[in-house]
Amino acid sequence: MGQKINPTGFRMGITKNWASRWFADKATYGTLALEDRKIRNLLKERFETAGVKEVIIERSLNDIKITIRVSKPGVVIGRGGEGVTKVQEELKKLTSSKISLTAEEVKVPEIEAALVGQYISRQLKRRLPYRRLVTTATQSAMDKGAKGIKIRVAGLLSGGNSISRTETISLGSIPSQTLRADIDYAQEDCHMIFGTIGIKVWIYKGETEIN
């Protein structure tokens, strides 16, 4: 035993939906998949301060509909929508398809795994103690209505002169083997001068109906 599976991939098509929603034949699949990756990387880089939870890409024959879920949609939209216009111009260099970009607000960022991971990564770069950061993040998530949260950090947690180790802090329950459990999962890499610290976040939000 001991084999692990990605909690999102485990529930894909059951309680979770795909982030890329399109179909392609064998000849064009690789090109479109790489295009999706470039689009996601560009948007996450441009809107790093907006708190990007996920980028959903839907394709039809010659159109791409992109929905970016962020904690601060105002940063994406910009003054008079100029932020969206500028990014659409950059995206046109990556694809020949017609692009429409919309921003959706994440109502409670404290219970979104990707945003919690990004928050911890930013604070670690400011040299704040990891244990205090993780404890604060877990307590905030529980206060905002999460049923359970687990955060695992791994690497040179006490600086360049320390030994690499893994620390896990959890509150509440995380039923990882239950398919109907709505578990939000994210991985984040925090690149420090002395190496990379890995951050994994599991947040249990309750059970969903399986049709």
Residues 68, 134, 207: CA angle, nearest 5 degrees: 60
At residue 160, the pLDDT reads: 79
User: What is the extent of the structural domain holding 77?
Assistant: 7-105
Per-residue pLDDT at 195 exceeds 80: yes
User: Is 76 a member of any domain?
Assistant: yes
Number of structural domains in the chain:
2
Q: What are the respective helix, strand and coil percentages of the chain, to the nearest 5?
A: 35, 35, 30
Three-state SS at 49: helix
- The dihedral through the CA atoms of 65, 14, 206, 139 has a sign that is negative
The two three-digit tokens of residue 190, written as one number: 């925090």
* Pair 131, 196 in one domain: yes
Per-residue pLDDT at 1 exceeds 60: no
* Pair 133, 175 in one domain: yes
Per-residue pLDDT at 23 exceeds 70: yes
Residues 85, 87, 93: CA angle, nearest 5 degrees: 110
At residue 78, the pLDDT reads: 78
pTM listed for this prediction: 0.88
User: Is 142 a member of any domain?
Assistant: yes
* Pair 101, 28 in one domain: yes
Average pLDDT over residues 177-206: 92
**Which of 43, 70, 105 is at the close of a domain?**
105
Average pLDDT over residues 48-75: 89
**Which of 81, 105, 129 is at the close of a domain?**
105
CATH of the domain at 197: 3.30.1140.32
- Compute the mean pLDDT over every residue in the chain, rounded to the nearest whole number: 89
* Pair 12, 86 in one domain: yes
Instruction: For residue 119, name the pLDDT band (cuts at 50, 70, 90).
Output: very high
User: Is 1 a member of any domain?
Assistant: no
Instruction: For residue 50, name the pLDDT band (cuts at 50, 70, 90).
Output: confident
- pLDDT per position as a tens digit, 146-161: 999 999 999 998 887 8
The two three-digit tokens of residue 115, written as one number: 């945003």
Kindly state the percentage of the chain with pLDDT values over 90: 52
